[in-house]
């Protein structure tokens, strides 16, 4: 059994189990909040992008292109290091807030492209039908277009969420403690790379497997039936 202990000392991992659990919880929490931000921003930007008014679609397009053409790391640095004290908050963003906002804004650009594809896939007749029964723009979006669009792109949105969870490891660069940070902790305190990083990798793989499973369910439940 000695060779296993040489390669992967599970006793050390057991010792650090509370830290890994805390890291996993932090990753889940960060991803969840960032996901909420990205979906709200994504929906808004998608709708703006499809407007015919220049004042609306140009900023939306610029936002998407800017995010897609720069690395997430730089976006995190820019938001964490350079956003000044906010008037409502009365202080500067801390690591966690900066990291979450950067992640959310980053994912929001990708989500907006997916949501836009979903909205554009809804046939014209649906909108015209809603118009003919006297629905306002907001009502049409809320009751007719959005439910179908989201259902259609739900698997893709879930795939992007998996990417978001992986990307959340980058907030460890500005000192946020999350799953990857737990691996760093083991490496820094014990100089044991395998025990730290293999454990973290396994956790990420488990999350990924879970996301694949959920995506599969979404595909079966939503993807097949909602065709107009």
Partner 1 sequence: MLEVIVSTMPFLLEGLWVTFEISMITIFFGSLIGVLVGMLRTLNYAVINVPLGAYIHALRGTPFLIHLYFVYFMLPATGISWLQLEAFPAAVIALSLYTSTYVAEIVRGAIQAVPRGQGEAARSTGMTALQSMWYVVLPQALKLMIPPMGGVYVIIIKGTSIVSVIGIAELVRAGEHATQRHPRELMLIYGMTALMYFAYCYPVLRLARWAETKYGGVRLPS
Write out the residues near partner 1 by the rule CB under 8 A.
65-66, 68-75, 77-78, 81-82, 110, 156, 159-160, 163, 166-167, 169-170, 172-173, 180, 183, 187, 193-194, 197-198, 200-201, 204-205, 207-209
Nearest residue (CB) to partner 1, 82 versus 132: 82
Exposure of 13 in the CB half-sphere (CA atoms within 13 A): 18
Residue pair 144/126 in contact (Cβ under 8 Å)? The answer is yes
Token readout for 109 is 């650009």
CB 136, min distance to partner 1, A: 34
Smallest distance from partner 1 to CB 220, Å:
19
Nearer to partner 1, 6 or 54 (CB): 6
Q: Residue 64 or 141: which CB sits closer to partner 1?
A: 64
Q: Which two tokens stand for residue 182?
A: 């737990």
Smallest distance from the beta carbon of 40 to partner 1, in angstroms?
A: 20
The count of other CB atoms within 10 Å of the CB of residue 108 is 27
User: Phi-psi region for residue 91, left (φ > 0), alpha (ψ -120 to 50) or beta?
Assistant: beta
On whether the CB atoms of residues 79 and 98 are closer than 8 A, the answer is yes
68 vs 220, which CB is nearer to partner 1? 68
């Amino acid at each position: 059994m000695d060779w296993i202990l040489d390669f992967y000392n599970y006793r050390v991992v057991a010792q650090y189990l509370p830290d890994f659990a805390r890291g996993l919880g932090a990753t889940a929490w960060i991803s969840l909040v960032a996901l909420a931000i990205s979906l709200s921003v994504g929906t808004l930007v998608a709708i703006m992008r499809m407007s015919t008014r220049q004042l609306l679609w140009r900023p939306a397009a610029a936002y998407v292109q800017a995010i897609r053409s720069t690395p997430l790391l730089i976006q995190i640095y820019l938001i964490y290091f350079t956003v000044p004290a906010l008037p409502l908050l009365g202080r500067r963003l801390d690591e966690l807030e900066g990291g979450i906002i950067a992640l959310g804004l980053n994912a929001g650009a990708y989500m907006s492209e997916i949501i836009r594809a979903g909205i554009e896939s809804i046939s014209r007749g649906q909108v015209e039908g809603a118009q003919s029964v006297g629905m306002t723009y907001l009502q049409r979006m809320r009751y007719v277009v959005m439910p179908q669009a989201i259902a259609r792109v739900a698997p893709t949105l879930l795939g992007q969420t998996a990417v978001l969870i992986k990307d959340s490891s980058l907030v460890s660069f500005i000192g946020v403690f999350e799953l990857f940070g737990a691996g760093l902790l083991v490496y820094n305190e014990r100089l044991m790379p395998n025990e730290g990083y293999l454990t973290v990798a396994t956790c990420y793989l488990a999350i990924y497997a879970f996301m694949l499973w959920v995506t599969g369910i979404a595909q079966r439940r939503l993807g097949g039936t909602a065709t107009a």
